[in-house]
Structure 1
């Protein structure tokens, strides 16, 4: 892949200077809280798609078709994310990172909370799955601008030599969101089946409303990016960030897509799909599969923190390559362990898979932000990540289809996981070569 000769160079922004670390921790925590709400909402929807929506909102279909329909709804949210990335990228690169991030967190919280209020198919008929899909699209639209803006803010406030740890701090929203969503489902699954189906499953979604209040309070106290302020002062903002991005940095956008694929798609394959696979195909208990994702989230916290620090020495590109290749090598052994149906082996396999995936995911923020110049950074990071999300969101759907076509054999899923892992390794290698070393925003 070649990069266009018109792509901006670091020297083009040599006047910019990065801030000191005074507010870096505060901004990173604010970004983390928003990402936590994002991940909580998305993982909640993914788990519900596997064990609730297929039964309560697609009841006229046979079991396989109902699961496919539920996962298609899950994937539809990802399809809306590039649109949200372009929209909020425009706001973030033209008006400010902060107003974009305040808006995204509000929309995410409202859409998720309303899912908990939605009547089932038995109550309102075909309107139920339609409204569910609309709420999912709204959620996806808002999420299209959330992660890209969060990591951009965290990195732009951080000292250059400590960007790895601050970018990884934002990524902690993923395991904490998983812990909260899986923990919430673990609790409500203790209810009698009738109570769970009628109202119990709604409680974790309704919890998004108070979580939104906390996230919004923290976001409103967050300061605007000093890099964006400087770009504004120098009158270097892009006319239309998306068009400028495509014109000058299309090669970088493709690299960002590849580098993001494993962190998003691999994660959903080893959580959302594996929950469905374990319960529906292997006949394992729902509680076991949810608990497996819960334990894996704890492992992911450690993996993210370690990988973020290591990246400061070896670079995000190299860590992405390591994460991709290790995941590809482990794909078949991981599913062999799951197929034993042994509870210990299942939990170990899911946890190990998430640990490998987290090596690449931890540095995703620093890899992507250093691919794009400041005047189109929000748009570039958000769009690259969410184009990968479009593919990733349908991986559980593709996984179910492959599983059905293979008669329940897991080997096609192993191939799928290895393929996206290798694609991410390639993205990491190219990203390291195309990296803007940020002499333009050195302290």
Structure 2
């Protein structure tokens, strides 16, 4: 697809239509991430005790985080599947399927009996449901970003692509907020049924997402591609044959926004509660405040992308995230509630700068006929690696005799890889 064709096509979209599409992508993505993030929070404070019960709490935590990682292993398969369909039959149809699948699966987790009720079947079924969650999310984000970008005016793609990104902190606010409320229940009630309520809420929320997504049209660039008979027969194969460098760049550029986020949420909640004996309400509250700040950070980052380029903003954001990594853990280790909250807010909002531009950055790496596949596969291979970050951080903490410098070093490593990805992305961005 040439630059002229892409510009001409997007110029026919009224700005109000572009905003409607971006808003629908945002709401759907927020509900998808709500469903997906619930599992991470529950893995930190519920699943280790109720589904992976062992005599050693550290081993139970590792088992819960391993099941958490299974969802990330599945995400590339979802990316290939829905990327293929999205580049062949349309972006909109795939997004209706992904939001339905993940919401139903999340609701079923809320109905699943625990280890005490059905024994070994409980962790096996829980892990299977997490696998289906991963497949759905593997196709969701790439499609939402692609649809938003392809409806947006070329000079405003950064801000429109940032809107679905805001779905991440909103999903965090909803999931952490739900757990924050039920965590105030007596422990017996929380373990018996209270933790299930946020999962069961996925059923009614599905209706909201479907209503909004059915009201938006297909991507104009995709429709033009169909008219020109420019579809790839097997998009994933052509992607790795012709654009494998861009895939690697996309994986690197996405790493801190995904892996760093799970380090500073899923792992840090477990670290604060398990190693530092901090109240789980404090750790969940810190993530809530950080997520609220993310809304502003992501909005600002999207506008920076339009002004300077997504690659440059990703580079600067990666460097900043590396700089604050050790101070963040030093502050958490003080056990001072105010400093713990400040550390989580600071760390998450710094890594949100490269995350803000990852949508427009990835979309700019790939041509229209491979874009859904390219965006989905790049981000989800990064997600595959990121899913093991809490597990790796827990293992490093054990190996370093519970010294947080080991996990801070991991955060620096992730941040510098993203900075490198941003540098190379700046030289490979397309305008069509």
Contact 1:10 1:436 in 2 (8 A): no
**In 1, Cα distance between equivalents of 2:181 and 2:163:** 27
Q: For residues 33-73 of structure 1, give each alpha carbon's deviation from its aligned partner in whole angstroms, at most 9, with x where no partner exists.
A: 11101211121110100000000001135101100000000
Asked if 1:396 corresponds to 2:394, the answer is: no
Asked if 1:276 corresponds to 2:234, the answer is: no
Contact 2:94 2:143 in 1 (8 A): yes
Asked if 1:58 corresponds to 2:52, the answer is: yes
Match of 1:17 in 2: 9
Match of 2:256 in 1: 262
Match of 1:118 in 2: 112
Within 5 Å, give how 1:174-253 maps onto structure 2. Answer: 174-253=168-247
Q: Kindly tell me: are residues 12 and 90 of structure 1, through their superposed partners in 2, closer, same or farther at Cα, counting changes over 3 Å?
A: farther
Asked if 1:103 corresponds to 2:97, the answer is: yes
**In 2, Cα distance between equivalents of 1:22 and 1:28:** 10
Aligned-pair CA distance for 1:220: 1.2
**In 1, Cα distance between equivalents of 2:305 and 2:193:** 45
C-alpha RMSD of the superposition: 1.2
Asked if 1:81 corresponds to 2:75, the answer is: yes
Q: For residues 142-187 of structure 1, give each alpha carbon's deviation from its aligned partner in whole angstroms, at most 9, with x where no partner exists.
A: 1000000000000000001111111111111011111111111111
Match of 2:330 in 1: 336
Match of 2:285 in 1: 291
Asked if 1:301 corresponds to 2:281, the answer is: no
Q: 1:377 aligns with which of 371, 378, 386?
A: 371
**In 1, Cα distance between equivalents of 2:411 and 2:316:** 15
**In 1, Cα distance between equivalents of 2:330 and 2:247:** 35
The answer for unaligned runs of 5 or more in structure 1 is 1-8, 439-443
**In 1, Cα distance between equivalents of 2:3 and 2:325:** 42
Residue range with higher mean Cα deviation, 382-391 or 161-170:
161-170
**In 1, Cα distance between equivalents of 2:7 and 2:360:** 21
SS in 2 for 1:180: helix
Q: For residues 236-294 of structure 1, give each alpha carbon's deviation from its aligned partner in whole angstroms, at most 9, with x where no partner exists.
A: 01111001101110000000000110111111100110000000011111110000000
The answer for unaligned runs of 5 or more in structure 2 is none
Length-normalised TM-score, structure 2: 0.98
**In 2, Cα distance between equivalents of 1:15 and 1:391:** 35
**In 2, Cα distance between equivalents of 1:83 and 1:393:** 14
Q: Kindly tell me: are residues 218 and 11 of structure 1, through their superposed partners in 2, closer, same or farther at Cα, counting changes over 3 Å?
A: closer
Match of 2:134 in 1: 140
**In 1, Cα distance between equivalents of 2:381 and 2:28:** 20
**In 1, Cα distance between equivalents of 2:172 and 2:315:** 25
Contact 1:43 1:178 in 2 (8 A): yes
Q: For residues 309-360 of structure 1, give each alpha carbon's deviation from its aligned partner in whole angstroms, at most 9, with x where no partner exists.
A: 1211001111100110000011111100000000000000000011101100
Aligned-pair CA distance for 1:22: 3.5
Asked if 1:43 corresponds to 2:37, the answer is: yes
Aligned length: 430
Q: For residues 10-46 of structure 1, give each alpha carbon's deviation from its aligned partner in whole angstroms, at most 9, with x where no partner exists.
A: 4696796224324111110111111101211121110
SS in 1 for 2:328: helix
Contact 1:72 1:397 in 2 (8 A): yes
Contact 2:3 2:431 in 1 (8 A): no
Match of 1:3 in 2: none
